[in-house]
């Protein structure tokens, strides 16, 4: 049966799911990423898997291209003997006399380990290319920071990736593409589950990042939850409305974080890359 939700050129695959359609005729590249969210419930399983794999591969390829000239986050750590490191002469000279072996101050650069919880507004308006661009933004964070848990929220919140869960960037993208666009927007629910997830994290540095337009139509005031994050950064996406801007500004301020702005979804990946550079030094 044909569907209004799918582009006309793909109707034959839906109307005749048992036909021997050639995979080459299915969408590929960014077109697969754009249309997969609509096609996933309409195509037969064997064709759906082909389009999904093409969509995931395209999203990961774009994420890697955006990160081509960035490095993994690092931090400089001060330590004392017998730890490894280079002598920090200036810091050592500030130590009180008489000097002991332990007075020698060493410094070294080591990978910066961060537990990040990403909270995604996936309510009813999130379809098509918006979902693909959201998955691309998540892939950027995963490729750079590794330890990324993910919450999707609509009327309620859903755990897509738990804190400490071992999974690839490919699987993370696949899970986001599989989220149905449904329900209303409950920012409070997403933040509450994000706080809970970061509470399970083992690393000292824990950060929340929320992608939203800031306009909630169910739930209580989300700003009351923001101070419970060690740090909360906000990426405001989509058309700027007074209510949404005010909420996003208050969330970032209460969460001791920064607010970023993507006027259209096409800007989202670059904005998230900027966030990674600003906040994690990569």
**CATH of residue 244:** 3.40.50.410
Whether the per-residue pLDDT at 246 is higher than 50: the answer is yes
Same-domain status, 238 and 178? yes
Same-domain status, 103 and 20? no
Helix (H, G, I), strand (E, B) or coil at 238: coil
In a domain, 3, yes or no: no
Asked which of 9-18, 126-135, 221-230, 249-258 is least confident by mean pLDDT, the reply is: 9-18
Confidence of residue 27 (pLDDT cuts 50, 70, 90): confident
42-63 burial by CB neighbour count: b if 16+ within 10 A, else e? bbeeebbebbbebbbbbbbebb
| Measured CA distances, 139 to 13, 142, 209 (Å) | 30, 5, 14
Contact predicate 88/111, CB 8 Å: no
The pLDDT value given to residue 23: 64
Confidence of residue 224 (pLDDT cuts 50, 70, 90): very high
> What is the C-alpha to C-alpha distance for residues 60 and 76, in angstroms, rounded to an integer?
30
3-state secondary structure 51-68: HHHHHHHHHHHHHHHHCC
Same-domain status, 21 and 90? no
Same-domain status, 44 and 57? yes
In a domain, 20, yes or no: yes
For 145-177, give the DSSP string: H--EEEEEESSSEEEEE-TT----HHHHHHHHH
Please choose, from the candidates 258, 147, 257, 254, the residue with its C-alpha nearest in 3D space to the C-alpha of residue 198. 147
The pLDDT value given to residue 112: 63
Same-domain status, 60 and 187? no
In a domain, 2, yes or no: no
The pLDDT value given to residue 142: 95
What share of the chain in percent tops pLDDT 90?
56
Please choose, from the candidates 206, 229, 212, the residue with its C-alpha nearest in 3D space to the C-alpha of residue 280. 206
Determine the straight-line distance between the first and last CA of the chain, rounded to whole angstroms. 49
The pLDDT value given to residue 17: 52
Name which residue leads in pLDDT, 28 or 111. 28
Same-domain status, 148 and 262? yes
Asked which of 12-21, 59-68, 272-281 is least confident by mean pLDDT, the reply is: 12-21
Same-domain status, 134 and 78? no
In a domain, 249, yes or no: yes
Please choose, from the candidates 67, 54, 205, the residue with its C-alpha nearest in 3D space to the C-alpha of residue 138. 67
Whether the per-residue pLDDT at 110 is higher than 70: the answer is no
The pLDDT value given to residue 12: 54
Whether the per-residue pLDDT at 129 is higher than 70: the answer is yes
Confidence of residue 46 (pLDDT cuts 50, 70, 90): confident
Same-domain status, 156 and 244? yes
Count CB-CB contacts under 10 A for residue 266.
11
Please choose, from the candidates 266, 155, 248, 165, the residue with its C-alpha nearest in 3D space to the C-alpha of residue 209. 248
The pLDDT value given to residue 280: 79
DSSP 8-state symbol, 99: P
- C-alpha 10: how far from its chain's center? 30
Please choose, from the candidates 61, 206, 208, 185, the residue with its C-alpha nearest in 3D space to the C-alpha of residue 135. 61
Contact predicate 109/75, CB 8 Å: yes
The pLDDT value given to residue 138: 97
Which tens digit of pLDDT belongs to each residue from 234-243? 999 987 778 8
Same-domain status, 165 and 255? yes
Same-domain status, 144 and 222? yes
The strand order across the sheet containing 148-153 reads 157-161, 148-153, 115-121, 206-212, 232-237, 259-262
* pLDDT average, residue stretch 142-153: 93
Same-domain status, 234 and 151? yes
State the residue range of the domain holding 103. 74-111
In a domain, 182, yes or no: yes
Same-domain status, 161 and 53? no
DSSP 8-state symbol, 227: G
> What is the C-alpha to C-alpha distance for residues 64 and 111, in angstroms, rounded to an integer?
19
Count CB-CB contacts under 10 A for residue 176.
26
Q: Which span out of 10-19, 90-99, 157-166 was modeled with the highest average pLDDT?
A: 157-166
Q: How many domains does the chain have?
A: 3
In a domain, 202, yes or no: yes
């Amino acid at each position: 049966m044909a569907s209004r939700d799918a582009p006309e050129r793909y109707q034959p695959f839906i109307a005749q799911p048992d036909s021997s359609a050639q995979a080459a005729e299915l969408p590929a590249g960014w077109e697969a990423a754009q249309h997969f969210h609509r096609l996933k419930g309409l195509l037969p399983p064997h064709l759906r898997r082909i389009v999904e794999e093409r969509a995931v591969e395209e999203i990961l390829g774009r994420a890697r291209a955006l990160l081509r000239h960035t490095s993994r986050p690092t931090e400089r750590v001060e330590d004392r003997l017998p730890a490894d490191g280079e002598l920090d002469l200036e810091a050592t000279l500030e130590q009180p006399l008489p000097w002991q072996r332990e007075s020698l101050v060493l410094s070294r650069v080591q990978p910066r380990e961060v537990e990040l919880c990403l909270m995604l507004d996936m309510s009813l308006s999130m379809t098509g290319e918006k979902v693909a661009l959201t998955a691309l933004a998540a892939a950027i964070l995963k490729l750079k920071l590794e330890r990324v848990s993910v919450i999707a929220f609509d009327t309620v919140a859903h755990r897509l990736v738990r804190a400490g869960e071992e999974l690839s960037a490919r699987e993370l993208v696949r899970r986001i593409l599989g989220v149905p666009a449904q329900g209303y927007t409950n920012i409070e629910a997403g933040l509450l589950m994000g706080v809970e997830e970061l509470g399970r994290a083992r690393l000292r540095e824990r950060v929340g990042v929320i992608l939203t337009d800031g306009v909630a139509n169910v739930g209580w005031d989300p700003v009351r939850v923001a101070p419970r994050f060690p740090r909360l950064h906000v990426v405001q996406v989509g058309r700027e409305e007074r209510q949404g801007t005010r909420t996003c500004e208050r969330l970032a301020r209460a969460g001791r974080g920064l607010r970023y702005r993507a006027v259209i979804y096409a800007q989202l990946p670059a904005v998230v890359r900027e966030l990674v550079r600003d906040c994690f030094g990569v």
